[in-house]
Amino acid sequence: MIHSFIDLFSNYFQQYFQIFVGNQIYRSGKLILLSSKEFYIKFIYIDKKNNKQKHCEIPIPYNTTILDNKIILDYTNETFCNNDKNLLLSLQTINNSYNHHAFYNKKIIIKFGDVDLI
């Protein structure tokens, strides 16, 4: 799974990207390297604002959809539970009083393209 995920992103090397969480830009820059670390893909990129090398670790999603120059990463509980209502209900009874990752129970959009287009 992790190797196919890296292969998917390898098509976008040296392209500019924006990662959206909801309507907010989470990260943006030019993708220069990918690596894997446990259950994460590590993006190494050049930050658009400061022109400095940075990194971002993205957890492996439950599902991935590709549309044109967009990759949609699905981290929703429904996908995790494979739409099993009983399992989803059990998942919701777990203590949710702690802070979650920014991607928790969301679909994340990564747009790729020319810097002027994104």
pLDDT, tens digit (0-9, with 9 covering 90-100), for 6-37:
788 888 899 999 999 999 999 999 999 988 88
Please indicate, yes or no, if residue 103 is contained in any of the structural domains. Answer: yes
pLDDT digit string (tens) for 42-72?
999 999 888 999 999 999 999 999 998 899 9
Kindly state whether residue 118 falls inside one of the protein's structural domains.
Answer: no
Query: How many structural domains is the chain composed of?
Result: 1
For residue 24, being part of any structural domain is answered with yes
For the whole model, what pTM was predicted?
A: 0.85
The residue range of the domain holding 16 is 2-113
> What tokens were used for 66?
């590709």
